[in-house]
Structure 1
């Protein structure tokens, strides 16, 4: 799978996981209506489907996704919740992204 397509799949999966989880969070923590929770659950299930669009194996995809999720969660918190990441958040996200890229994109001996 080419790198751009793979990154796009990771981003779509991240939006599904974070967006679905956020809707459930709002339903349970902010007294939003039940349909927030139901919609969030459907979106979270969609996340599980989207992740299968990667060409690597399950373990490698989920390990790499963890690093990408860290960056996306910080971006979501910043843009949606008004959380301001500090330099340690940014450094940690960069390290996680480097690790994710090494796991998923570096060539392997077969």
Structure 2
């Protein structure tokens, strides 16, 4: 998008590219804040479970949580920056927070 802004030949093209870039940057910030809020909600109000999850359990947790995130919040297609922050959901699973608790935080913040 910044390339379009620099390649704009008319004032109208420049303004359009500028608005698109601004919206994309706003969306990226909203996505980051959403992930921040989910992590804060889970880690502030809940404790990890005592047992360590196997890699398979971690993957199931992450998959379930990310599916709900895509359904309720944003998809990577809508906002590519989701891919940069999705690992934070994996980290919550890896740290032992219950899948249901993470999903509940997603629902509370994105519904």
TM-score using structure 2 length: 0.32
Name the one with the larger helix percent: 1
Specify the structure having the higher radius of gyration (Cα). 2
Q: Which has the higher contact order (CA 8 A, sep 6+)?
A: 2
